[in-house]
Amino acid sequence: MSGTVSSPRRRAVASGAPAAGAPAAGAPVTPAPRVPRSIRLAAHAAALTLVPSGLWRIAMALGWDSGFTDEHLNPANYPGPMSFYLIGLSLLAEAVGLLTLGLIHRWGEELPYWVPLLGGRRIPVLAAVIPASTGAALVTLITVSGAFNWNDADNMGAPGAPEGVHYWVMTACYLPLLAWGPLLAVVTAAYYRRRRREG
């Protein structure tokens, strides 16, 4: 009987089909990371901290009255050539912020299979941790410094800067950025501990 009936694995090998339980071609090798809910929330919050300021810049680029009356940021100049810069800056900033999600998803541990030449390779721990921790430190330094200098004569205290309601709207839109660096640092530390623990 054993000589006439082959196992499913033998039949699969003979036919060239993947055996039961074997990963299909292009399938991820790394299992989905087990990340605490608090870290997942922190990662999503980090990405969302850039949304208000980005929407503020895009609204200004489309002609919304931001309250600026100086030569360059006067609403009369928008929409205009500078609109592309403001929109591009907003999209780039959010794209950078979304990289935080890689620290809680599989694509932050293993390159997707569709990436040319490198698809499916494991990402070294430090290759993700060093840029992320450096970014967290720099973002924290820049945003905290910006908060302390927010009303200086060359910032919101400059002639032509928004006043009244416009001032408070802009301040409220940029305020969440203070949380970006610390949240990124927390998620990065959790990523490092998890990857080191898993080996």
For the record, the structure tokens of 77 come out as 């100049």
Residue 176's pLDDT is what? 97
The pTM of this model reads 0.79
For the record, the structure tokens of 10 come out as 């033998």
Residues in the chain: 199
Average pLDDT over residues 145-164: 92
Residue 8's pLDDT is what? 46
Q: How many CB atoms lie within 10 A of CB 30?
A: 15
CA distance 158 to 75: 17
For the record, the structure tokens of 135 come out as 């970014």
- Give per-residue pLDDT as tens, 65-120: 999 998 888 888 889 999 999 999 999 999 999 999 999 988 888 887 777 877 77
CA distance 12 to 15: 5
